[in-house]
Every structure is written in structure tokens, then in C-alpha cells.
A = this chain, B = another copy of it.
Amino acid sequence: MRLREDEVVRPDGGSGIYGVVEVANPAVFVVALTDDDEVVLVHLYRYTTGRWSIEVPAGSTDGEDALVAARRELAEETGLEAAEWIRVGGMSSLNGICDAPEHVFLARGLRPVGGGAAATRATQEEEGIADVRRVPFGEVLAMIGRGEIVDAETMAAMLHVAVHLGRVR
């Protein structure tokens, strides 16, 4: 990421400095749904906030196609691959200070990545992932309501999927 400071003219005509955090590459977020309506979540330590966090698998595109990145992040963080991938939407986080484009995918038809358990464990350790959980969709919503999930992108990704599946009205 990069912090850019622009000299700007404000809407009221005054001049000022506008700081923009540029996120180098779009990020991807994956709502992986099992045949039993469970969401696959990762439990990891977030250095930035100093807290443990429960989130959907996610990562940066590193410049490649968003779907390629989504497949890689799901495999690396959870050891799973999916038969069905749907891009359910895009979003932009903290757009008052950041330029951070994001893609949300729904992944279904899950199965373990062939022969990838050791690689998965290595990546999980690198990324600080303590464990992977399968949580019923309704229980994920309850965890959000109880404040046990606080990651805003996980919430936004869940809403995208709920809209796509007609589960919110």
C-alpha cells in the first residue's frame, strides 16, 4: 500500500491536503458454502487491531485475475477447492480514505485440495491462521449480531451472498 497526499480544492472552494491510502491490488473475499449450508471461516490474529478475528478467506490479487486469486486464497487458507464459483459482487472499503477495490465470490461444491495438506498448513502458519471452522450460515449471522465477528468485509461479503441467494428481504 502507499499513502499519497494530494493538494486539492474542497467543494466549498478552500484548498487542503487529501490523504489517500492506495491499495496496490484488488482484494478477494470468498464465502465458501458447504452442501450442509455451513460457511468456512478462518480464525487468525490481526496485527493491526491487536485482536483475534473470525473471517471469510481473503487476500490480495497480486495483479492476476480475481478468480485465480480467490481459488488460491481458498486453497491456501483452508485446503479446499470448489466446483462452482460465482462472482456475486464488488465493493470498496473505507472509501473516505482508501482506494481499495474488492471482489466477493461464492464458492460451492467444496472438496479437499488433492495432496495439499502440508502446503496449506505452511501457508496457514505464515498468515497466522490458527484454525478453520465450518459454521452454519445462520450461526454466522448470530455471531455478527453478538459481536463475535467484527470484520466489516466478512459482513459485506455475507450480505452479497445473502442477496444473491434471496435470503434477505
Question: Contact residues of A with B, CB < 8 Å?
Answer: 1, 3, 6, 8, 10-12, 18-21, 23, 27, 46-50, 53, 58, 89-102, 125-128, 137-138, 141-142, 144-145, 147, 150-153, 155-156, 158-160, 162-164, 167-169
Main secondary structure, interface of A, reads mixed
Give which listed residue, B6, B49, B163, contacts A92 with CB less than 8 A. Answer: B49
CB of A65 to closest CB in B, whole Å: 18
- The answer to whether A46 and B159 touch across the interface, beta carbons within 8 angstroms, is no
- The answer to whether A159 and B169 touch across the interface, beta carbons within 8 angstroms, is no
Nearest B-chain residue to A163, judged by Cβ: B145
Given contacts A90-B150, A93-B153, A162-B162, 6 further A-B contacts (CB under 8 A): A6-B47, A11-B125, A11-B127, A48-B99, A50-B99, A92-B152
